[in-house]
Structure 1
């Protein structure tokens, strides 16, 4: 069967608006194209009136504040092996319907399956593996808590035992601590959206954030393993402490938080120091410091006394006197050495003078020798050979006690034999 081509829709404008029926029909046609789908959520409301042919439910997302209206046959609810209650996690199969008369959308379901605890735990394990692979549990990403936070954010149930434990223990340990409390649901479909909103409000305005709950069943603690909450805690700028208080099974919040506390009381002990213990520590440190200072002063005083008792400091002039004696001995030795050297050199000079006098011209003349000089004008020449004083030369003869003027009458040359005999 062939379908006739539809005429093009007229142009839409302020002058040619769509009537409500056209819009409603178009929306219904688009929703019809989606077909049948599987949807998972948490039942927050069940309206099953006796005598009616339709049961109404509200299915809420477990991570965000979004819900969807559901309709089904009442017999579908009655045939379930486990009665459906508010808060149950379910997977439904159905088809979206748009009611053009009221302009509302609902999901008409034909099958409802309860999500068991085993399936939920398996999903948590798969999410744990995913977050581990992304590095959200890496210990290197853990931020240290401040030693003394000025303000602490607390996310917990209203008037809960966890709130009382955290406040009482923290104020006993450090009375000046200031808390900024955000009371939220800690179980059920609205827990995750409310905790996310509280986390956004506190992040950056306080020094540390504590998410606390006093334990509970595995089903009650499912919101603390929600992916959206884990990613929000990992992305927070403020250090987050997880204090769920459930030892057998740790929710994923314990792994992604910067610090895991076993109980809310343990969290209070972790976030603020004990004033009494800190004062005792200060007193102990002061006592140890004073003892160390006194010991140091005593050691330095003993060292000073030992130094002062040394001979060089007991009698400072003793070393100078010892050095003075050494200097005097050195001076005496130097003077004696100099005197000996002077006497030796004086004796040597006397001997040399005597030798020089003995071989000098005056001594030679005194022994009977004479020096003959030929006078030639103003000049005088010593006569060494007979050729230096020919006959007629004017001579000057110097003897030991004066000089004699003479003239050369002649010369006589000695023969070699005469010379040898003379020498003999």
Structure 2
């Protein structure tokens, strides 16, 4: 096993003391590339060199999305047999085999077949890419960022000295003279358009002063507008932090950039109108709002003044003490009536209480005693018991007899029990 990882049976190890000669390295690279076989490659032709009398034509095939290219060689007869002459900027698909020229140490693709990519095929590829980006959600309306109401600085990516640049700048400055532009002129068609626009977009997106970015160009064919349907550009627009406006071509033109941008303008002029407000219209709106506000304020003051006048004309405001005096008189009348009612109630209750007192006195013990009755009590030590029967006062018992005006102490000498006959006789 050699130092470069290639197994060499019986070959000396590669080192600073035992380096490979150039011819060995060139042969090994050629042998390795030879094993790749034939391949199909797609790109955009940027250079064609086919001199009369030569046996080899040289071409440069460039990737439309990145700054990478590949050298091609072919038989000049192959170019002459093409149904449509090959020109710089044409998109093609070629079939060939990589070759490494050991003498010069260069690599090229030896082409044996060239196919021009037609409009139909381009449209199919665009539709295929559109379906892919739709599935990934790059066209989702929820991802659209709102544009600032009045951007102070606008980034503009467009062709140098183009009509689109003139339209956007002139219309925007006519509408709002204070607006400022940061312009990046790039190719807007051809093999270098996408790399240059990607670089300009990244630069403007990093600029903190740029509040919105416009990609603008005039109308053109499908091939001319093809860079604005490039996958790399669409993904860069979707990933940008700054709101982006697409102003490509005319109303019927609809590249994929229109779908992924935050706002699609029909034309560059329409983009300027939708990004920058019209100063005259805004001033007119301010004047109108000011007039409406003043009218509303005056109407409100008039309503409040009328309300105050009505309140001031009410009796309670004309003579504030009248209601108090009226209430005071009414309160005095109520107080007098309440006092009279209470006094009448007291007299009635006093009379009732006197009658009850007389009745109570009439049936009380003192009245009974005054009529000649007495209460006889037997005295037994400190206790006194009312005598209700002759059995309660045997002979010799000490008695206390209470009469109306005092009490008499006596002793029981004996007792006589009354019989029913004697009771009847007594009644008679």
Q: Distance in 1 between matches of 2:194 and 2:354?
A: 128
Which of these residues, 51, 57, 69, is aligned with residue 67 of structure 1? 69
How many Å separate the matches in 2 of 1:353 and 1:115?
A: 134
- Paired residues in the alignment total 414
Residue matched to 1:185: 187
Residue 44 of structure 1 contacts residue 57 of structure 1 at CA under 8 Å; is this kept in 2? yes
Q: Distance in 2 between matches of 1:216 and 1:366?
A: 143
1:54 to 56, 61, 73: 56
TM-score (norm 2): 0.81
The alpha carbon displacement at 1:137 in A equals 1.1
Relative to structure 1, the CA distance from residue 22 to residue 316 in structure 2 (aligned partners, 3 Å threshold; closer, same or farther) is: same
CA contact (8 A) 2:45 2:60 kept: yes
Query: Could you say if the C-alpha distance between residues 320 and 35 of structure 1 is closer, same or farther in structure 2, counting changes exceeding 3 Å?
Result: same
Paired residue for 1:19? 21
Select 2:92's aligned residue among 90, 93, 98.
Answer: 90
Structure 1 residues 302 and 53: alpha-carbon distance in aligned structure 2, compared to 1, 3 A threshold: same
> Contact 2:139–2:259 at 8 Å: present in 1 too?
yes
Q: Secondary structure at the match of 2:344?
A: helix
User: Structure 1 residue aligned with 2:216, among 183, 197, 212?
Assistant: 212
Question: Aligned partners of 1:366 and 1:264: how far apart in 2?
Answer: 133
Question: CA 1:300–1:36 in 2, change beyond 3 Å: closer, same or farther?
Answer: same
C-alpha displacement at 1:162, in angstroms? 0.5
CA displacement at 1:30 relative to structure 2: 1.0
Instruction: Work out whether 1:109 is the aligned partner of 2:107.
Output: no
Aligned to 1:409: none
Residue 359 to residue 234, structure 1, CA distance change in 2 (3 Å):
closer
CA distance in structure 1 between the aligned counterparts of 2:232 and 2:244, rounded to whole angstroms: 15
**Structure 1 runs, 4 residues or longer, greater than 6 Å off:** 349-367, 413-424
Give the distance between the partners of 2:39 and 2:188, measured in 1 at CA: 30
Q: What runs of 5+ residues in structure 1 fail to find an aligned partner?
A: 374-387, 391-397, 401-412
Rounded to whole Å, the distance in 2 between the matches of 1:207 and 1:332 is 85
Q: CA deviation at 1:249?
A: 3.4
- Give the TM-score, by structure 1 length: 0.82
Change in 2 beyond 3 A, CA 1:63/1:342: closer
Taking the TM superposition and a 5 Å limit, the aligned residue runs for 1:265-304 are 265-304=269-308
What are structure 2's unaligned runs of at least 5 residues? 1-6, 377-392, 396-402, 406-416
**Cα displacement (A) at 1:300:** 2.7
Secondary structure of 1:94's counterpart equals: strand
Post-superposition offset of 1:414: 12
- Measured after TM superposition, the shift of residue 125 of structure 1 is 1.3
Match of 2:46 in 1: 44
Deviation at 1:419, TM superposition (A): 8.8
Correspondences of 1:104-183 after superposition (within 5 Å) = 104-183=106-185
- Using the TM superposition, give the Cα deviation of residue 165 of structure 1 relative to its aligned residue in structure 2, in angstroms: 0.7
**CA RMSD, aligned part only?**
4.1
2:411 matched residue in structure 1? none
1:162-203 CA distance string (max 9 Å, x none):
111111111111112121111000011111111111111111
1:351-381: CA deviation from partner (whole Å, max 9, x where unpaired): 67888999999999999x899x9xxxxxxxx
